[in-house]
Chain A
Amino acid sequence: MTGEGRAQEIVERGLAAAGGLPCAVIVEDRYTVNVRWALTGLTTNGATRGRTVTAIVAAPVPGGLAVATLSRGGVGVEDVAELVGQVRVVAAGGSAAEDAAELMDGGVSPDWDEPAVETGPSALAPVTDGLAQVLARSRAQGREAFGFALHEVSTTWLGTSAGTRRRHVQPRATAELNGKSHERSRSAWEGQARQDPADLDLPAMDAEVAARLGWQGRRFEITPGRYDTVLPPTAVADLMIYLYWSADARSAAEGRSVFSRPGGGTRVGDRLSPMPLRLASDPGTPGLSAAPHVLTAASSPFASVFDNGLATTPQDWIAEGVLRALPNSRHTARLSGLPFTPTVDNLTLSAPDGAGVPGALVEQLDRGLLLTCLWYIREVDPTTLLLTGLTRDGVYLVDGGEVVGAVSNFRFNESPVDLLDRTRAVSASEITYSREWGEYFTRTAMPGLLVDGFNMSTASEAS
């Protein structure tokens, strides 16, 4: 297998090989380049180029339509008919798919005929230039530097037997910098998510890391408990991403999630926050642009392969503090009795009166904590969306509206839904990179939040 040939031709040949059955073909060309560093020196790197072709075919079986999907690397023009043929065989021998529906015509992208956008090792030159400065400064200042930078460009072409021909280019560039000092007893972290690697500013990240390490020079001992806390945008992003991943309409309608209404139905319409918070997704958000159509190789509670090509539109999940919608497919929308509101691959939290930089929220805090980020976040109870996890890379004690020093890390047990209800103040939103989930959900814009009574369950000895 060579993977050769124009993507558009692979789509057309694949659809032709379906023999009149409902079919979708997705071609993805993905280019990545990355560098990783630790102990103040580069460790690993990588450059990848690859093509994946996904064939989705539905076939009539007793009880309805069965569907099969197969994603395969290295498929070229000469191979795609065989791929579709294999999928036809699996579909014909399968069981009826519960989400079977008519494929709809999602229209034709104006740039359908354009080739893939590529990247390669030279694209990382601005990053390695900045990294050289960071490493030199770290050595000079007796710090250790650790981190990772990635640039990736994915071009997808989606064609369906209903007429859809949609092309989408999804770039991303991310960098994380972790600084440690004094035998690793102090640790600070910064992350950036952009679309062009030239916009990653490692020296600026390093300056912030150095400042934060300085804050940790004075240490305080405090006991676990509930503390009024400033959550920076990266921590808010990790919590809101988990909320989004836990918000599928079907689970809510079936009584299985935090968005289930006791006695039946969903909590759509319920007030989740006294603040006029807005949690939204919009494929056209500047700096966070995402596919403006459904693009999925497999069905899930959040998407159906039969929805491929349907437009994804701006969607408020929470508006004015009230739950407005839950992500779904056409199938799960019907099951849950809600309008079809497809998932979008970005997420923004904001408040109309959110203003100022996140750090300014500290001034509104008489005594409490300022976090850097969260880590190892896992669900404890889906019905409350209780999550557990750790603080990481610096927890700061705030007294009289000022940071006065550092305290230990803590294990937290908290629900992001409950936190929305206990939010007291909100900063302006900014594009952010979430510490834990950023590699898997990159496009977020979040504010800092000042919340009441964040539950620090126990102290962690980790530094």
Chain B
Amino acid sequence: MGCRTQGWVVSDVADEAGPGVDETFRALPLSGLADAALERARAAGAEHADLRVQRMLETGLSLRDARLASSDDRDDLGLAVRVLVDGVWGFAAAGSLTPEAAVRAADEAVQLARLCAPLAAERVELAEEPVHRDAVWVSDYRIDPFTVPRGEQVGLLIDWSARLLEAPGIDHVDARVGLLKEQKYYADLAGTVTLQQRVMISPDLTAVALTGEGAETMRTLAPATARGWELMLSEGHDWEGELAELPEHLAARVRAVSVEPGVYDLVIDPTNLFLTVHESIGHATELDRALGYEAAYAGTSFATPDRLGELRYGSELLTVTGDRTTPHGGATIGYDDEGVATGSWDIVRDGVLVGYQVDRAMARRQGLARSNGCAYADSAGHVPVQRMANVSVRPDPAGPDTAELIAGVQHGIYVVGDKSWSIDMQRYNFQFTGQRFYRITDGRLGVQLKDVAYQASTPEFWASLTRLGGPGTYYLGGAANCGKAQPGQTAWVSHGAPSTLFERIRVLNTRAEAGR
């Protein structure tokens, strides 16, 4: 049962939590830490205060040529106190989980807020949020990867690497898997208390062929995703099929023809397009960026609020959603790091900008009744910042399959898999490469091309979208390395998209760009 303490509800989480959140986390003195920190902050005059206890269990395994090159386990645990004092933020964190540390963090947060008050140009206010008492949420996974013996984890990667090394033409194989278990307890002065746990996995294998002139590579396309070890057992990804095809994909890459630079129609597979969505739509529609709060670092956006409801972001075929409830999404969670219940909303509808991703402060600044739940901190040591939801392009319900899209192209390229990416600080000019590029001539798929990069400006690119694939082509890609804010923070996020046709896109030859 929750119990009322000093005006806010702090639950006895160890008793209330349902199955799913690890007992080791539930057994921490969570409510005691909340009592200590929040009472101290309120007594010091904070109009808002929240306490977050966060544990990030991370494993990184790396193999080269079927031998274990690195294993790295991290268990980052700490508490964070964030306060608003007279409309100014203060934040402090500690690695020690004692009431004394919680009180000291509250004191330091208030001290920082007061130290910085003369420098603040505006009073921060938060959008209202209903109180969520004793809420528990756990992501959807079947096998906790942190319960799988290390020998079994490494053994699987050794087997896959060895299988690839036996294939003709493969000289080296790199294999990696990243695992994350995120556990969060959140309590605030309003009475919200949440307890959550997420599990993520990010595997890849890269085969390398030495050509005499250099090296060619081919990487698997399994996404970074919110699943457990079952992903490695082919629940959610066809590993057998992908590993069987990888040697031929690489061999075709070695035989590939260097692309003639020019203008092409591109059929972009969602295994590539998800990252373009991330960079050119996901980041561009973060309201904090659009307003200038990231101007010195991550950058701003061309999609400014004065153009909301009017800016033609792309073709009328383009509808984009923000969603923190997407099944197996990297940004999926029940409640964000400000205690906001998550949901989904439109960002681009019929090609027009209609919404932003916001946290509570940005929502209030924009005059929105509620935040859409985009606050996130990647560790106890970092303040929550506005981060990206799962931002996805909706497929055409009656759209074609990928083959039909290709059949409609006279002179083009089919792009598969992500590789290199870069975009400017207002999210206009971007350049992407990929894993595989196939020539399309008169509607037929030809040989692989190499040295390909496509380059465009965001509004022109999305305006050139002329045909969306159907639901059968839809795929949820993901990234485990989305960076933003200072100090720098990293987040997981997913993006769905169908296969999509873009007309008249500029393609570069990267060897020529290098002056070769």
Please list the residues of chain A having a beta carbon within 8 angstroms of any beta carbon in chain B. Answer: 1-4, 32-52, 66-74, 90, 93-99, 120-121, 124-125, 128, 131-132, 135, 144, 146-148, 150, 176-178, 180, 184, 189, 250, 254-256, 260, 262-263, 297-301, 375-384, 386, 388-390, 392, 409, 411, 413-415, 418, 439-440, 455, 457-463
Nearest to B215 among chain A residues (CB) is A256
Asked if B214 and A383 sit within 8 Å, CB to CB, the answer is yes
Instruction: Report if B149 contacts A (CB, 8 A).
Output: yes
Q: Which residues of B contact A39 (CB under 8 A)?
A: 121-122, 291-293
Q: Which residues of A contact B293 (CB under 8 A)?
A: 38-39, 43
- Specify which of A90, A128, A150, A256 is in contact with B208 (CB 8 Å cutoff): A256
Asked if B67 and A48 sit within 8 Å, CB to CB, the answer is no
Asked if A48 and B96 sit within 8 Å, CB to CB, the answer is no
Interface 1/0 per residue, B195-216 and A, CB below 8 Å = 0000000000000101011110
22 A–B contacts, CB within 8 A, in A order: A1-B97, A38-B294, A43-B293, A44-B383, A45-B115, A46-B91, A46-B92, A46-B93, A67-B71, A70-B74, A71-B76, A72-B75, A72-B77, A74-B97, A95-B151, A97-B68, A135-B119, A380-B510, A382-B215, A411-B431, A458-B455, A461-B429
Known A-B contacts A45-B91, A50-B381, A378-B421; A2 and B295 likewise in contact (beta carbons under 8 Å) = no
Instruction: Report if B382 contacts A (CB, 8 A).
Output: yes
Q: Which residues of A contact B471 (CB under 8 A)?
A: none
Asked if B428 and A461 sit within 8 Å, CB to CB, the answer is yes
The smallest C-beta distance from A415 to any residue of chain B, in angstroms, reads 6
Bound-complex Cα distance A212 to B453 (A): 34
Known: A300-B70, A381-B451, A455-B515. 4 other contacts (CB 8 A): A45-B112, A128-B116, A135-B121, A375-B299
Bound-complex Cα distance A256 to B65 (A): 14
Asked if B214 and A147 sit within 8 Å, CB to CB, the answer is no
Bound-complex Cα distance A386 to B506 (A): 19
Q: Which residues of B contact A45 (CB under 8 A)?
A: 89-91, 112-113, 115-116
Instruction: Report if B98 contacts A (CB, 8 A).
Output: yes
Nearest to A71 among chain B residues (CB) is B74
Asked if A462 and B75 sit within 8 Å, CB to CB, the answer is no
The smallest C-beta distance from A386 to any residue of chain B, in angstroms, reads 4
Bound-complex Cα distance A180 to B425 (A): 14
Bound-complex Cα distance A253 to B454 (A): 31
Q: Which residues of B contact A375 (CB under 8 A)?
A: 299, 424-425
Instruction: Report if B154 contacts A (CB, 8 A).
Output: yes
Instruction: Report if B108 contacts A (CB, 8 A).
Output: yes
Q: Which residues of A contact B171 (CB under 8 A)?
A: 254-255
Bound-complex Cα distance A38 to B297 (A): 10
Known A-B contacts A42-B119, A178-B295; A411 and B68 likewise in contact (beta carbons under 8 Å) = no
The smallest C-beta distance from B337 to any residue of chain A, in angstroms, reads 13
Instruction: Report if B423 contacts A (CB, 8 A).
Output: yes
Nearest to A94 among chain B residues (CB) is B150
Known A-B contacts A70-B74, A298-B70; A94 and B510 likewise in contact (beta carbons under 8 Å) = no
Q: Which of B120, B155, B213, B487 has the most CB of A within 10 A?
A: B487
Asked if B487 and A392 sit within 8 Å, CB to CB, the answer is no
Asked if A389 and B422 sit within 8 Å, CB to CB, the answer is yes
Asked if A388 and B381 sit within 8 Å, CB to CB, the answer is no
Bound-complex Cα distance A409 to B76 (A): 40
Asked if B422 and A390 sit within 8 Å, CB to CB, the answer is yes
Shortest Cβ-Cβ A-B pairs, 9 listed: A41-B121, A50-B95, A146-B296, A298-B72, A383-B214, A462-B426, A413-B513, A178-B296, A42-B119
Instruction: Report if B482 contacts A (CB, 8 A).
Output: no
Asked if A298 and B60 sit within 8 Å, CB to CB, the answer is yes
Asked if B73 and A254 sit within 8 Å, CB to CB, the answer is no
Asked if B208 and A131 sit within 8 Å, CB to CB, the answer is no
Q: Which residues of A contact B116 (CB under 8 A)?
A: 35, 42, 45, 128
Interface 1/0 per residue, B420-463 and A, CB below 8 Å = 11111111110101000000000000000001010101000000
- Specify which of A67, A68, A256, A455 is in contact with B513 (CB 8 Å cutoff): A455
- Specify which of A1, A66, A99, A148 is in contact with B77 (CB 8 Å cutoff): A1
Residues of B70-120 at the interface with A, using a CB-CB cut-off of 8 Å, are: 70-78, 88-98, 101, 108-109, 111-113, 115-116, 118-120
Q: Which residues of B contact A69 (CB under 8 A)?
A: 71-73
Nearest to B101 among chain A residues (CB) is A2
Residues of B174-206 at the interface with A, using a CB-CB cut-off of 8 Å, are: none
Instruction: Report if B172 contacts A (CB, 8 A).
Output: yes
Asked if B510 and A2 sit within 8 Å, CB to CB, the answer is no
Asked if A377 and B296 sit within 8 Å, CB to CB, the answer is no
Asked if A262 and B150 sit within 8 Å, CB to CB, the answer is no
The smallest C-beta distance from B361 to any residue of chain A, in angstroms, reads 9
Known A-B contacts A128-B115, A148-B296, A262-B212; A388 and B422 likewise in contact (beta carbons under 8 Å) = yes
Instruction: Report if B25 contacts A (CB, 8 A).
Output: no
Instruction: Report if B508 contacts A (CB, 8 A).
Output: yes
Bound-complex Cα distance A414 to B78 (A): 42
- Specify which of B74, B292, B383 is in contact with A146 (CB 8 Å cutoff): B292
The smallest C-beta distance from B382 to any residue of chain A, in angstroms, reads 7
Bound-complex Cα distance A407 to B155 (A): 56
The smallest C-beta distance from B164 to any residue of chain A, in angstroms, reads 16
Q: Which residues of B contact A300 (CB under 8 A)?
A: 62, 69-70
- Specify which of B77, B91, B118, B383 is in contact with A132 (CB 8 Å cutoff): B118
Q: Which residues of A contact B71 (CB under 8 A)?
A: 67-69, 90, 94, 97, 298
The smallest C-beta distance from B301 to any residue of chain A, in angstroms, reads 10
- Specify which of A38, A71, A93 is in contact with B73 (CB 8 Å cutoff): A71
Residues of B498-516 at the interface with A, using a CB-CB cut-off of 8 Å, are: 506, 508, 510-511, 513-516
